[in-house]
Amino acid sequence: MFGQKLTESVAKGFENLRDTIKNKLKVATDFAKLTVNELKEIPQDVLGSLQEGLEYMIPQQLSGIAERLKYFTKQNLHNVLSRIPTTTFEDSLVALNLQVDFDHDQLREFALAGLRTFGKDVGNWTKDALNKMERFLMGLENSEIVEIAGDALKLSKNILCNNVPFNADQKDSFLVPAKKAFGEISGWDETTIKTICSVIEIIPPTQILKLSAEA
């Protein structure tokens, strides 16, 4: 079940679990039988160590502990997200995106899970991938953001207008796919400006004034 030598903390945490929970952890496939409340009883380092069992985690389980994941260390979160099925991650993104307090390191782990789910090349991500990842796009590196396909960005559900707090460097990086989607800034119209929302903040004021005059 664990697939590794246990640390003293993990071994002790496992021993302290209720027998009903431990019984469901004896066989990896029985992991899917754990209720959300039972999952919440499992210490995060123990849960992250259940390598074989995590491969059978279902969307209802991951969605059910979405809020709890905010308190996971980077390593424990990595251990969970790197083991669960990609379908489980994808089908849980609606619930996961409702949580807004993940830190930078945690967001990166979700972005890495996105890369495993939708493909290592962000340039091949579809509009659906962008829409589903939504807030977790904040976990992408700037070098990954610039690879986003223009068509995917253009057809997405205005991910730049969904109150996702991208930082200044990320907004600057989004300018690259925005230009792929809508052409050079000098040709943008009012509709384009409404579509790219937060990216407008990093466009030089002189160009903004010119766009406003032409709109």
User: Running along the chain, 215 residues long, what does each successive block of 10 average in pLDDT?
Assistant: 66 93 94 98 96 97 98 98 98 95 97 99 98 97 98 90 89 93 87 82 70 61
pLDDT of residue 209: 62
The single residue listed with the structure tokens 């090349």 is 121
Distance of alpha carbon 140 from alpha carbon 6, whole angstroms:
32
Alpha carbons 102 and 210: distance in angstroms, whole number: 38
Q: What is the pLDDT of residue 1?
A: 54
Predicted local distance difference test score (pLDDT) of residue 198: 77
Q: Give ∠ CA 107-133-149 in degrees, rounded to 5.
A: 110
Q: Domain segments of the chain: what residues? A: 1-118, 145-214
Q: Residue 172 corresponds to which tokens in the numbers above? A: 């600057």
pLDDT of residue 34: 98
Separation between Cα atoms, residue 193 and residue 63, nearest integer Å? 35
Residue pair 139/113 in contact by the 8 Å Cβ criterion: no
Residue 208's pLDDT is: 66
Instruction: Give the DSSP letter of residue 72.
Output: S
- Residue 214's pLDDT is 62
Contact 180, 153 (CB under 8 A): yes
pTM (2 d.p.): 0.91
Question: Residue 173: its pLDDT value, please?
Answer: 94
